[in-house]
Amino acid sequence: MRSYKLLGALFIMISGLIYSLERGFSMISTSLIMAGFYSGKMSGEVPEVEIHTLFDNFYVPLFFIVGLILIVYGFLKK
């Protein structure tokens, strides 16, 4: 019973870690594109910073839902 709760918490933490890493890397990559645009004194439309949402990666909501299900199952089994 306790193992279900721990495993559920681990799944939720992993989904948060994946989401944070993906969001950080996407901000860094698009910021590098913008920095190159400004340093090259290019003309035209300024590229927008692309920030990913929660449902862009399939595994983030999947791990979160599995984690919630395991935690609820652990509490109900007790």
Residue 51 covered by a domain: no
Environment class of 2 (CB within 10 Å of its CB; exposed 0-12, middle 13-18, buried 19+): exposed
pTM of the full predicted structure?
0.78
Q: How many domains does the chain have?
A: 1
Range of the domain at 23: 2-41+58-77
Residue 14 has pLDDT above 80, yes or no: yes
Q: How far, in Å, CA of 61 to CA of 18, rounded?
A: 10
Q: How many other β-carbons are positioned within 10 Å of the β-carbon of residue 57?
A: 17
Each residue's pLDDT tens digit, 19-73: 999 888 888 888 777 777 777 776 667 667 667 777 788 899 999 999 999 999 9
Helix (H, G, I), strand (E, B) or coil at 53: coil
Q: How far, in Å, CA of 62 to CA of 67, rounded?
A: 8
Residue 46 covered by a domain: no
Residue 67 covered by a domain: yes
Residue 47 covered by a domain: no
User: Cα torsion for 71, 73, 74, 78, to the nearest 10°?
Assistant: 140
Residue 53 covered by a domain: no
